[in-house]
Structures are given as C-alpha cells and as structure tokens.
Structure 1
C-alpha cells in the first residue's frame, strides 16, 4: 500500500482545504510531520484512517461524525476527506463525508445530512477515473479485502503508536494476549475452544439424558415387577449403570415367568372345579323345574273341575246360536222390507205435499200423465229461451258501442287540443337546448381561465407578504452582521490585551527553584505583575463564544433572507406588479360567471329529455286520433244491424212468455211442475211395491222359525248371536279343551311324575356353590392375566432398555473423545504439560515470530546489545503465558522487558512495532506496505541512539518504503529534510510542505 495524496476539508483543526502530497514527501524515503502541540499532527493520521475505514484510531473513534468537523470551518463548507492510494496494484481514490449538521432551508432549526462515501479507480489505459461505488458497506468490504487487515491491525501496523508498544513491553501475559489476538485474529482458535466446551457439555447432557432415561425404564420395570427387582444405587453418568440395569431386568423377567407358570396351573384347577359346580347346578335346576311343572298341572286340573258348569252353559248357548243362524236370512229380509216400506211411504207423502190440491187423490198413473203433458210444453219453449238470451246479448253490444263512441269523442277532442299547441312547444324546447349548449361552452372557456387567475392571486398575496418579510429580514441581517463584527472586534481586542499581559499570567505560576516555562531559568528576580485591567483566559473564552454565537446568528439570518428573496422572486414572476385587490375582483367575477354558466348548462339534459318525451307523445296522439276515426266509421253499420235484429226478437218473445214476465220465468215454472209430478209418481209406485215385498217377507220368516225349532220368530231372534259373541264363546270352549288336554299330558309325563316323588330341590345352595367356583376361577384368571401382562411389560421395557444401552454407547464414546479434546485445548488436561490454551499456543508462536523479526532491528538500534526472546514460563494459575524477555549481551543475562530504561524502551518498542508490522503483513497475505508512520517517542533518545534509530528507519527504503515520523523534537528538523509542518492559527491549522 502506497499513499499518493490526501485532501482535508473542515476536518479536525483544519478549517479550510489542505493537501498532503505523499509522493513528494516519499521521494527521500524518510519525512517528518512536526508542529506545535495541538496543531493537528495526529489528525493527519486520523484522516488517513478515516478515509480507509470510516473511523479514527483508538479512543478517538468514539463520538465521531459531527465531532470530526472543524470548529473553524465556515457554515456552508462540508467536512470531507479524500485519499489517493495504490493497493494490490490498483490506483484508488476514496472520498468520505461524515454526517453534516446544517440549518434547515425552510423554517427554523437544523437538519443532519447523511454521511456519504465515493470510491473511484484510475484507468491507466484510458487515463480517466471511473466510479466504482457509493455504498458504505461495499466500499468498506472492498478496502478491507484489498488491505487484508482490520482497522485495529492497520493502526498497529501502519501508524505504529509507540505508546501502545511501550505498554506492550511492560504488560502481563493476559494483556499481550488481548493485543495479539486483535492483530492476528485468533478468534477462530478461541471459538474452537468454546465450540469444544459446548460440544463436551452437549455430549455430557446427552449421556446424562440417556442414563436418566435408562434409570426411568428401570423404575418402570421395578413397578411392573413389584418387590422382586432391586435397582442399582448409581446416578446418571456413573460407569456400570447400563450393566446393572440389564442384569436386574433379566432377574425380574425370570421371576415373572415363574409366577406366570404358577398362575396358569391355578387357573386350570379353578376352571375344572367351576365346570363341576355348573353341572351340579344344572341338575338341581332341572329337578326344580319338573317339580314345579307337576305342581302347576295339579293346580290347573283343580281349577277346570271348579268351572265345569260354566263350560256346559256356554256349550248350550253356542248350539242355540247355531240353530238361530238358519233363521237369520229371513229375519234380515223382513227387517230390510219393513225399512224400505217406511222410507217409500215417507217419500210419497213429501212429494204429494208439494203438488197442487187437484193432484191429491191422483194415483201413480195420473201423476205420470200430468208430468208428460208439462214436459211437452217445456220443450216448445227452448227456441224462445235462445231468442231471449240473444236479445240480452244484442242489448249489451249496443251499450258497448255507445261507450266506445263517447270514449273516441273524448280522445279526438283532447288530441286536437294538444296538437294545436305542438309547434309552439317544440320551438320552445329547442331554444332551451341551444341556450344550455351555449352556456356549457362558456363554462368550459371560463374554467380554463379560473385556475391561472387564482394562482396569480395567491402569488400576488404571497408577493405582498414576502415584501414586508424581506425588508424585516434585511434589517435583521444588517443588525446581526453588525453584532458579529462588534463581537469579533471585541474578542480580538481582548485576545490582544491578554497576549500583552501574558507575561504576568505566566509569572503567576512561577515559584523559587522551579524552571521558567519560557526561558528555563530557576531564578525569578522581577516577575511581571497583573495590572487592574488584566484580561484572563476565561474572559477571552467568553468573548470567543459570544463571537461564534453572533457569527452563527448572522449566518442563520443570511439564509433566512435568501429563502425569503427566492420565494419573493418566484411570486413576482408569477403575479407581476398588478395589485392583489384587482386580481381578487377579476378572479371573483370569473368564478361567478363560471358558476352561472354551469348552472345554465345543467338544464341541457333535462331539456333534451323533455323534447324526446314530447316527440314521443306527439306520435302517440296522432296515432290515437287516426284509430278513433276508423272505429267511428265502422260503428255506424254495426249499430243498424243490431237494431233490426232486436225488433224481430221482441215480437217473438212476447207470444212465448204468456203471463210470465219472461220466457225464462215461464220455462222455470214448467220445469218445477215436471219435476214435482215425476217425483210424486215415482214415490207412489215405490210405496206400492214395498208393501208387497213386506208381506212376502213376513211369510218366509214364520216358516224359517218353525223349521229351526223355535216357537216364534222373536225367540229365534233372541237366540241369534253376533260375530263377536260367537267368537268369544267358541274361544272359551277351545281354551277349555286345550287346557284340559295340556293338563292330562303333563300329568302323564314319567319324568315329571318321578320328580314329584323326590325330595324338594335345594336351588339356592347349588347356585351359591357355583358362584363361589366362578369367583375362584375369575381370581385365578386375573392373576394369570396380571402375570402375563407383567411378563410382557418387562419384556418390552427390557428391550427398550437394551436399545437405549446400544444407542448410548456411541454417545458415551463421543463424550469421552470430546472431553479429552476440550481439556487439551483449554489447558486443563494432564496431556497438556504446559497447561497452555489453544489460542495462547497460537499467539505464543506469533509472538515468537514477532520477537525474531524485532531482534533484527533492535540489535542495530542497541549496537548489538539487546535481543528480544519469547518466554513460555508458566504464569498465573499454573498456565504458560506469553512472556517477553530481553537478553542483554553485555551481561549475558535474560531479564524482563519491564526493566528497560525510557530510551531503551522506546527503541525496543519501535523494533517490536516494525517486527510486528512485518509479521502481520505476512499474515495478511503479503500485502506490501510502502508507507509507514511512527508517532512520537524520539525525545527520550540521546544523540547517538537517535542516529542509530534513524539509520534503521532509513534502511527501510531498501524495501522501497517511505516512513513518516510524527514528532515535535527540534533535532529531527535538522536531520530529516522532507517535512510536513502543521501551522496553528486563529482560523485553524494549515499545512506547509517542504521536500
């Protein structure tokens, strides 16, 4: 990596823009950065680091961003750092701007602009710079990848902070480990240690979990086996647990199988006893059943003998009923003839009651002849009835024609009146449509003019308001400018007065025997005294703060005035010089005219709809007028035909009506007479026929009763049974016979008779014996099932435990292997003789390389006296540390680096820094570092040692390196010709370069 150019703007103490030409400084190989304390020497290095990584080194990285900005910078100037460098064969330019706080463009207050970054690459073939990226993340990753080192490594390798390496020489092993860990990025080895510890814990947890599951299975087996299994007294993780559990499980399974065999034998014996008890119970139940059957049959026989009289009476009643069934048809026939005769007599009486008196004595034949004569007269009225119905139709048709004529007259009158005004109505509607169309066109033209007029009015009002604000802002700017000038003059006057009286201020800190800070003298014969008007530093600082506040206020007022004038110019360009009142009147008239035109245009649709409806109404009325005229012409001939036919029918109907008011009334009278006469004739004939049939039925009934053995028909009727009574008697007789047969059959059974002769059966005792045998069998079966379940559960749990032991074996092997590795890398294992952690081991190797690289330069700086060596002696807690010793060739003894003097510590730390730079460079992939910086520490060297150190630094040019020394030691200005001087001033620091 070689630096070419660095541009600074408003960064740190530099208020303006400064440039560092590293190409010119690097020509000599060794150059000096010097200047008074606080001028900004370290800020140049901070700018290089900020350009590369976006942050500054060490503790100064906290609070960056707005704090990187120079207090001397003008408000409108933004902080910016640009670095031109070559790295990995590529010429790059990096520009960074931190967040920038500035006043808001509109309103009051401040806003913060985001940080920005640019990366460009120089194309040598085309001779131009090409943009690569503006992304902070992409640029950071690109630079880190090209340099091959982090910001911490860069600050240790390129900037070489000597104070840090002096502390490194005197630090303990732990502090050295932290620094080397950051530089060589040995976090991966620490992660290996951590990962191994985590894997050991995870493997241990899995082993313990497996052992716990195995013990849980053992507890389940103990519960299943009862009191026949003893658990091993081992905790999860202890050796031998698996073998103990499997052995106990095998013993429990053997005992359970023996108990199962005993339970099976007991169940077989109980089953045999229960079968015998069941057979005995069946025999007792059969004996009890037969004895009960015989006793029941004996009781039924006694009940039959008691009901023998009832049985004989039912038999006699049934036989009389069967005889009466032969008389039943004659009885039914006589009852039917009697009922029919009564109905016929009643119907005849009702029919004769409706006839006139002249037919009271007429017989059936006379009534029938009168009915025929009335029917013949009724048939002659059928033609007259049709004529009467036709006359009614003619009357209705004539009335309908009259109604149509009146309706058509009304339509013609109304239509003629409406059509008379049609031309006037159509003309008026067309005029309304044309007026609305003109209004719509006018509204469109006015709408185009409204928005510009309103915009111009708003601009005029804004112009008038901003005119007053601009005058006020100009006055505030003039006042703020005057206050800023007065405050600056006051601050400069106070600073001048303080500088004039600085001798008295310095003399106030003098004491006898102490050297003067100015001349170094220890005697102070006439120290200056403060006068009454002496200005101290606090007064000067207050004046400076007041001057800065006044300058900021002046800047804010200027920005506010610029904003107002810009807005005023825009408003003038829009509104011109026309007064706002005139523009308001014009805009109001436009809006009123536009509203009126829109209102008139709104009637266009309704006018068009009215015209369309009127045209449709005109067509409808014209068609109605034409149809009414056609109907009136056709009605004249139709009316004449109706009147002629009506006169003819009225003459014919007058003859057919006779005394009735209509033919229909006369026909109704004849129809009723025919109906009554016919009914009376039919009733008379029916009465005569029913009387004859009743007489015949009485004779047949007497003959049937005599043949059946009854004295009278009434006796036969009393003996007759209905179906229900007959079925009931027959059922009782059948039941009696069935019961008698069943009793005789039971009393004839040999088994039943033999059982009745035996003692009574003891059923309760037999049932109790069978129940006890069944309970013994149930208990024996339950015991066998429990023993079988115990065996099955123990087999299942044993298989599960055996499977768990098989799965646990590789986990235990893994745990043993990982535990050995974790103990080895953590330094706690007995195999690790030096008790050294893995990360410390790697860092010790790196420290050994650094010590070897540093010794090559330290021997030249110390004229061959000192050599740096790494020591792996055990430190605190018995572990090997990162010791660093120096070997003194003059004494031949090895001692701790903390015993070096101040000057020896400086060149030893410088040699260590250069050696570390070489090792870290190789570790980063061999990135070439062509530019290095060494910060302070040269003031502690004597002249001879300083020459030797400079010779070593000058020898770096052999590798085409350039080294920048940051120091304020005056002797170095004489020895190093290429210089970059930082000059401190009131308006900020500036750079002065000399080759």
Structure 2
C-alpha cells in the first residue's frame, strides 16, 4: 500500500482546503512531519485513517466529539480525499462525515448525512481520452469499507498499530505483563477463532456434564418409581433402597441389586395370592349352587299357590259364562238377518229422496204442466231445444259486432297515443341543436382535465417518495438518538461489571491459598510445593470469593459487553439508514415535502374527479345522437301508420251498420241475442230436471217393495217370528268381539290350570318346607366379595411384578445409555482443561489462544531483532520466553532481551530510555512485517512513526535514521512525527503544520528551510 495524495477540507484544525503530496515526500525515503503542539500533526494521520475506514483511532472518535473544524465557514463541507495504490489498483476515497450546514432556504441548519465515494483510476480510459479518467465504484459505506479492508487485509486497529506506529504504546508493550500483551496481539492477529474453540470446548464440557447429571437424576427417579411399585413388605424393609446422589460411585450396581431383590419379593407375594384365590373360588361355587336351588324351590312353591287361587276364581265365574254364551248364540243368528235389514233401509231412504225431488221439480213448472206425465214433458223439451238451436247464427253476428266495437276503440286509443308521441318528438327535435352543443362542451372539458391529471400524477409519485424518505430520515434520527442514550448506559454498565469482576478476581487471588488447600489430600503431593505433608493448610477468610462467583461476575461482564456491542451495531445501522433516507429525501424539510405532496395530491384528485366524467360525457353524446336518428325515423313511420288507421275505421263502420240491422230482427223483445238464448236454456233445464225426477221416483218405489220381501224371508229362516225380533237380535261388531274375547279368556284359563295340575315338580315342591332364597343369596354375596378381594390381590401382585419388570428394564436401558455419555464427558473435559490451561497435562498453563499468540510473538521478536541489532550496535537481541509463570499466571507471552556484552538474558523492563526506544521501534517495525504477512502479504510502502526520538543522543539518532533509511531498500517511505529540532536538519523532506488563528495550514519544506 502506498499513499499518493491527501486533500483535507474543514477537518480538525484545518479550516481551508489543504493538500499533501506523499509522492514528493516519499522520494527521499524519510520525511518529517513536525509543527507546534496542537497544530494538527496527529490530525493528518487521523485524516488518512478516516479516509480508509470512516473513523479515527482511539478516543478521538468517542461520542460527543466532532471531526469538523471549528474554524471553517458554515457552508464549507468537511471532506477528506485520499489517493492510494493497494493491490496494484490506484484508488481515490472521498468521505464526508455527518455534519450540520445552513439551510438553503430560510434560517437555521439542516443535517447532511455521511457520504462516501470510491473511484478507481482507469488507465485504459485515460489513454483513450488523453487525460485522467476515474471510474466510480461505489457510494455505499458498507461496500467501500469491505473493499478497503479486503485490499489492505487488516482492520482499523491493525492499521493503526502497523502503519501509524505509536511508539508510546510499544514501549508499554515491552514492559506489560503477559495478559496485556495477549490483548494487543489478539487484536492484531485475530485469534478469536482459537478463543472460540476454548469457549466451544468449555460449553461442550458443561453440556456433557449436564447430560451425565441429568442421566443420573433420571436413573434415581426410576429407582424411586421402583420403590413405589414394590410397595411395603417385611423383606424390603430389611433391604431398603440405597440413598445415592447424582454422580455417586456404585450407583448403577446398587440400583441393579435392589431391583433384583424387589422383583423376587413380588413374585413370592404373587404365588401366595394365587393359592388363596383357588381356595376362595371353590367356596364361592358351592354358595352359588345353593342360592340357585333355593330360588328354584321358591319359584315352584309360589307357582303352586298361584294355580290354586286362579282355579277358585274360575269356578266363581261359571254363571256369567252361561249368560255370555247365550248372548253370543242369539247375536250369531241376528247376523244372518243384518244384510236384508241394511238393504231395506237403503231402499226406503232412496225412495223418500226421489219423491221429495219430484215434488220440488214440479213446483217450478208452468201451471199447465204441473201434473204432466213423462211423455208430455219429453215433447215440451224437444220443442224448446229446436227454438234454442235457431239462435246460433244470430249469436255469432252479435259476437262479431262486439269485436268491431273493441277494435274501433283500440284504433282510437292508438290514434291519441300517436298524436302525443308525434308532438313530444317534434319538441325534442326542436331542442336538438342546443343539447348537442352542451354535450360536446362537457366532453372537451373532461378531456382537458384528464390531460392535467396525467401531468400531476407524474409529479405526485416522486413527491410522495421524497416525503416517505424524509419521514424515515426523521424516524431513523430518533432511533439513533435513543441508541446513543442506550450506548452511554451500556458503557457505564460494562465498566461497572468489569470493575466488579476484576475486584472479585483480585479478592479470590488473595485467598487462593485457602482454595488450593481445600483440594489437598493427605499423603498426596501438593500441586504448588510438591510436599506430601500438609501441616498447616490455609483456611478461607471471611468473605472469600470462589471460582463460581468469579465466573458469574465474568459472565455478567461478557453479557453486558455483548449488549454494548449490540447497541453500537444498532446505532451504526440507524446512522447508516438515516444517511440513506436523507440522500433519498433531498435537502427539503419534512414539512415542506408534506405540503408539496398534499398540494399535488389535492390538485390531482380534483383533476382526476373531473376527468372521471369523460367516458360518461362521451356516452351521453353518443346516446343523444343515436336517439336523434331514431326519433327522426319514428316520425316518418308514425305518419304512415296514421293513414292506415283511418282506412281501417271506415271499413269497420260499414260492417257494424249491416250487423245491427240483422240482430234487431232476431232479438225481439230481449235486449240481446244472448239474453234470448238464456231464457230458452232456463226453460229446457226445468223441463229436463222434472222429467228425470219423475223417472227416479218410479224406480225407487219398485226397489223398496222388493227389499221388504227379502227381509221377511231372511227373518223366517233365522228362527225369528217377526221382523222386529230379528232387528233386536242384531248386535254391533264391537259388542260381539268383546263377548267372544271373554269366552276365549275363560277357555284359555281353564286349559292352563289343567296343564299346571299335571306338573309333578310343582306338586313335589308344594309338599316341602318353605324356601329361604334371601339367606342363600346373602351367603353367596359374601362368598363373591371374598372372591373379588382374592382376585384383586392376585391382580395387584401381577401388576406389581409387571411394573417392576418394566421399570427394571427401563433402569437398565438408562444405565447402558449413561455409559457413552460419561465417556464423552470425560473426553471433552480433558480437552477443555487442556485448551483452557487448567489441566495438569498442560504444564505451562497456556491457553490455546495464548499458544497461538506465542508463536506470533516469536515471529515478531525474530523480525524485530534484525533491526534492533543494527540500532544497538549488535548488542541486544529480542527473544520470546515461554517460561512458566508464578502462581496462577498464564505462560507463553514473555518477552526478554539478550545482552551480547554480558551474555545475560533479562526482562525488557530493565532497558534504559534510549534502549527502550530502540527496542520498541524495532518491535513496531517487526510487528508491521509480521502482521503484513499475516494479512496476506500486502506490501506497506508508507509508514508513520509517532514521537520517541527525544530520548536519543546524536549517535543513536543517526543509527535509528540509518535503519529507517534502509527501509527504502524495500521501496518504503517512513514519515516521522516528532518535535525534535535536530531532525529538521537531518531529514530533507519535511511537512510542516503551521498553527494560525484562522486554522492550521500545511507547508512542504526541505532541511534548508525552503518551501
């Protein structure tokens, strides 16, 4: 990576645009960046870091701080542009932070979102056009950040340690303990995956331990169920269930042995219960047979008593039986006469009805025919029917006359309706021209409104999109404000949790001796001193903190820290979303955009409403034109129909006059032919009815005489002396049926009693003493209760045996399944202890992450020694030390210096100030090389070294500059940030930061002082 050009505007102390040409500064290999305190030397490095990563190092990016220059004019935007070459590609990055600017309209300020641009120099395009050609790549913060980090192969933290070498921090790195070194190296080399392996194994160990404990608890639960299923017995009271806890040794063997004893006891109890059941079943069967015999004897004795009682009742009913038998015999003879009686009654009724009808029919005849016979009435009927037939032709003529009158009235109605229609059509056609002009005007107005609605619709949608973006911009701004407040709270909670954890950890370390003493076992060597005797082990002091409390505090700290990181991510997401929404919304305020969208929407709605009537207006115009054509044609057709109606009326009038003359002759005195015909028809009906009534009366009289003779013959044959006696003997059907049923019941009762008198077992039972079925049933019930009790005991024993067998099998399955879980737990526990550095197999107590970092530190020490030997005149060498730390400290990240003059190896903290500068500079350069290789070999052609030269004498300063100058062999350039005045005469290329009242400025100078 090589820097070419940096342009700064309104950034930090720089109010006006400043440009730094790194290409001209890098030509000498080493260049000096100097200026008074507060002028802005560090701000130049911040600008480089901000251009690459969108943020500045350390606390300068803390909430509440601003990158904008307080000296800059309000309308001058803060902007940083950096040109660099990385991975063989020349890029230009431009970034603007979120900042306030004056509103273009009105007073006050508005907030501009953060913006970023990434462009790439297109050599092919530049060759074709004859000038520079930059090709835009992206304007997304996220895409640009990912692209730069992928090209450089390092994060912002790594870049600030590798490219912007902070000497003070590396001096502290030399003197730091191994934990502090581990944190720095972990950030630079990204060993999170190894820490994740440690965490994963720890989680798996806890998970496996929980599974084993859960398995033990399940086995103990099954054992308790075994005890419940076994119940209480003397044998089991002598052999109680062992009281074990999860994880106790011998748990499986104890449960298996107790389950075998419980099953054996249950089988013995089942055998005893089955023997008792067999004895009770025999006694119960005998009691059942005795109860059944008692019930049968009681039934036969009650049957004999019932037979005796019913025989006495049948003897008492003998007189009534004789009376009923006589009534039935007389009723059977009367039934032979009943048909003749019914026939005679029907004939008498028919004759009376016919005689009455004859009297009524004769009463309506003319007086001269009141006593006429059948032949006279027939002659009269024939004459009347002849007169009625002669009226047929006159009736048809009268009907035709009525039809003519109806048709004539219909023609009159049609004429009147046609005249009204013609008048209405004439009026409508007179208004046609004015109506057509009005309809055409409405069509034109609706067409103009439709055109306006289309124009407004094209403006309305963009206005709504801008308004929606502005509303989202305001919402995201509120989200960012809330997230900033939550972040402050989260950071406070994180700091408090960390301090609490460290305090507990320190308290535990102070009492670690007691904790180690608690693990001592008599006769076994101490893990600390190795002694087999422990005469005075330490005791826990009041308030001692154990590992569980420390782990809980550490877990709380990690939880709060994770929440803080989550809040930071949400804050960054809210800021990004607000910036994108602000870009989409433009510079106008939400109220302005809402007012514009509302105005456009109102106008569009009005135009759309007006345009909505275009189709209806066109339809009305088309219908009116079609109606005009139809009415014009109807007027001509109506004139033709009027002429036809006049001709038809004249023909009907002539035909009506001819028919009236003919009908006047036929009607006579009657008002009409129909009235004349109705009089003749009434006379025909009267004569016909009287003739029929006379014939029916004669017929019914003959039938009545015949029925009287048949009735007299039937009564004589049935044995009755008179017809009246025969009529009295006839009974209704229901009475005869009731009497017959009574006789049948007496006969059936007599037959049943005869059968019972022949039953020998009934007679034998009557001779025995009375039976007692209730006592026998009570004895059988007591035997059944004993049988049920014995059966329940057998069932309970069988269920107990089956349940014990099932639970024993379940316990055995659970014990077998627990074996692999216990093996897996032991295996993962060994691995977790080894990677966490707590296992006895890990002699140096090195965690996996520390082991990986130790290898990286060894590489860094080797790379740093190359330059340290030169700067120290071959005296000092940096070496990595993995010596075991004292106490509970972790090993593997020690750093020592070897003094070639004395041959001794000592801690880096023993170096003097100048020697510390040598070592820290060499360490920084070596670390830069190793991190570069770790990042994929990205070449770092531009480095910055911040301070540290003031502690060197002239000779040491020359040696350091020679080492830095040797970096040019790898085509590197080094920028030195320093206040040392002697460097201004030794370094030719210089970049001076001049502090002024209106803001700092940048000047390129040489060692001679010329700009």
TM-score (normalised: structure 1): 0.75
Larger Rg: 1
* Shift, 1:823, TM fit: 1.2
Return the offset for 1:377: 2.6
**Secondary structure of residue in 2 paired with 1:432:** helix
Deviations 1:511-552 (A, max 9, x none): xxxxxxxxxxxxxxxxxxxxxxxxxxxxxxxxxxxxxxxxxx
- Cα distance 1:971–1:359, how it changes in 2: closer, same or farther (>3 A)? closer
| Residue 372 (1) aligns with residue 367 (2) | no
Q: 1:119 to 1:760 in 2, by over 3 A?
A: same
Q: Tell me the equivalent position of 1:136.
A: 141
Deviations 1:190-241 (A, max 9, x none): 2111111111111112222222222222222222222366443222233433
For residues 631 and 802 of structure 2, the distance between their equivalents in structure 1, rounded to whole angstroms, comes to: 104
Kindly tell me: are residues 138 and 638 of structure 1, through their superposed partners in 2, closer, same or farther at Cα, counting changes over 3 Å?
Answer: same
Cα shift at 1:346? 5.1
The DSSP-based 3-state class of the residue aligned with 1:68 is: coil
Pair 1:50–1:359, CA change in 2 (3 A): closer
1:158 CA displacement: 2.0
The corresponding residue for 2:771 is 761
Question: Compared with structure 1, are the counterparts of its residues 118 and 993 closer, same or farther at alpha carbon in structure 2 (3 Å cutoff)?
Answer: farther
Per-residue CA deviations over 1:681-708 (Å, capped at 9, x if unaligned) read 643x357536644663575366346xx2
* 1:835 and 2:840 correspond: no
Distance in structure 2 (CA, Å) of the matches to 1:433 and 1:738: 109
Closer, same or farther: CA 123–237 of 1 in aligned 2, 3 Å: farther
Alignment of 1:849-928 (within 5 A): 849-871=859-881, 872-875=883-886, 877-880=888-891, 882-889=893-900, 893-928=904-939
Over 3 Å counting, the alpha-carbon distance change for 1:876 and 1:58 in structure 2 is farther
Shift in Å, 1:263: 3.4
What is residue 490 of structure 2 aligned with on the other side?
none
Distance 1:816 1:300, change over 3 A: same
In the alignment, which residue of structure 1 is the partner of 2:42?
Answer: 42
The reply to whether residue 801 of structure 1 matches residue 816 of structure 2 is: no
Task: Note if contact 1:867-1:887 (Cα within 8 Å) is conserved in structure 2.
Answer: yes
Matched, 1:696 2:709: yes
Cα 1:389/1:955, change in 2 over 3 Å: closer
Q: Is the 8 A contact 1:429 1:611 kept in 2?
A: no
Report if aligned partners of 1:81, 1:95 keep a CA contact under 8 Å in 2. yes
Distance 1:406 1:949 in 2: 135
Note the alpha carbon deviations across 1:664-719, whole angstroms, 9 max, x for none.
Answer: 42552354245335524643x357536644663575366346xx2x5555444444
How far apart, CA to CA, are the structure 2 residues paired with 1:891 and 1:291? 138
In 2: Cα distance, 1:934 partner to 1:733 partner: 143
Query: Partners in 2 of 1:31 and 1:195 — Cα distance?
Result: 49
Contact 2:6 2:80 in 1 (8 A): yes
Q: Which moved more, 1:27-36 or 1:818-827?
A: 27-36
After superposition, the Cα gap between the structure-2 partners of 1:338 and 1:794, relative to the gap in structure 1 and judged at 3 Å, is same
- Corresponding residue to 2:986 among 975, 980, 983: 975
Aligned residue for 1:237, secondary structure, equals coil
Conserved? CA contact 1:3–1:86, under 8 Å: yes
Equivalent residue, structure 2, for 1:521:
none
Q: Is the 8 A contact 2:354 2:693 kept in 1?
A: no
CA–CA distance in 2 between the matches of 1:170 and 1:629?
135
Measure, in 2, the Cα distance between the counterparts of 1:839 and 1:55: 29
Check 1:413–1:646 CA distance in 2 against 1; reply closer, same or farther (3 A cut): farther
Q: Does structure 1 residue 676 correspond to structure 2 residue 690? A: yes
Residue in structure 1 matching 2:388, options 372, 379, 382: 382
Contact 1:873 1:883 in 2 (8 A): no
Where does residue 61 of structure 1 map in the other structure?
61
For 2:841 and 2:22, the matched residues in 1 are separated by 55
Are the aligned partners of 2:337 and 2:711 in contact in 1 as well (CA < 8 Å)?
A: no
Work out which of the residue numbers 629, 636, 646 in structure 1 matches 2:663. Answer: 646
Pairs within 5 Å for 1:56-455: 56-63=56-63, 67-111=66-110, 112-121=112-121, 123=123, 127=127, 129-131=133-135, 133-134=137-138, 135-227=140-232, 230-328=240-338, 331-332=341-342, 367-386=373-392, 389-390=395-396, 392-393=398-399, 395-397=401-403, 399-400=405-406, 403=409, 418=423, 426=429, 428-429=430-431, 431-432=433-434, 436=438
Give the equivalent residue in structure 1 for 2:606. none
Aligned equivalent of 1:665: 679
Cα offset for 1:992?
Answer: 1.8
Q: Is the 8 A contact 1:36 1:968 kept in 2?
A: yes
SS in structure 2 of the partner of residue 83 of structure 1:
strand
Return the alpha-carbon distance in structure 1 between the equivalents of residues 386 and 204 of structure 2: 132
1:87 to 1:328, Cα distance in 2 relative to 1, 3 A: closer
Contact 1:436 1:604 in 2 (8 A): no
Name the SS of the counterpart of 2:996 in structure 1.
coil
Q: C-alpha displacement at 1:893, in angstroms?
A: 4.9
Shift of 1:731: 2.3
8 A Cα contact 1:87 1:146, kept in partner: yes
Q: Residue 340 of structure 1 contacts residue 690 of structure 1 at CA under 8 Å; is this kept in 2?
A: no
SS in 1 for 2:107: coil
CA drift of 1:87 comes to: 3.2
Unpaired segments ≥5 residues, structure 1: 452-562, 564-599
> Which SS does the other structure have where 1:877 is aligned?
coil
Query: Please, what TM-score do these two structures have when normalized by structure 2?
Result: 0.74
What SS does structure 2 have at the residue aligned with 1:317?
Answer: helix
Secondary structure at 1:950 match in 2: helix
Instruction: Give the C-alpha shift of residue 295 in structure 1.
Output: 1.6
**Alpha-carbon contact 2:13-2:39 (below 8 Å) kept:** yes
**Total equivalences in the alignment:** 832
Residue in structure 2 matched with residue 515 of structure 1 by the alignment: none
* Between 888-897 and 980-989, the greater mean CA deviation after superposition: 888-897
Aligned to 2:643: 626
Q: How far apart are 1:868 and its partner, in Å?
A: 3.4
Distance 2:948 2:804 in 1: 83
SS of equivalent to 1:118: strand
When the two chains are superposed, the root-mean-square deviation of aligned CA atoms in Å is 3.9
Residue range with higher mean Cα deviation, 911-920 or 321-330: 321-330
Note the 1:543-558 alignment, pairs <5 A: none
Q: Secondary structure at the match of 2:164?
A: coil
CA distance change for structure 1 residues 798 and 6 in 2, over 3 Å: closer, same or farther? same
SS at match of 1:970: coil
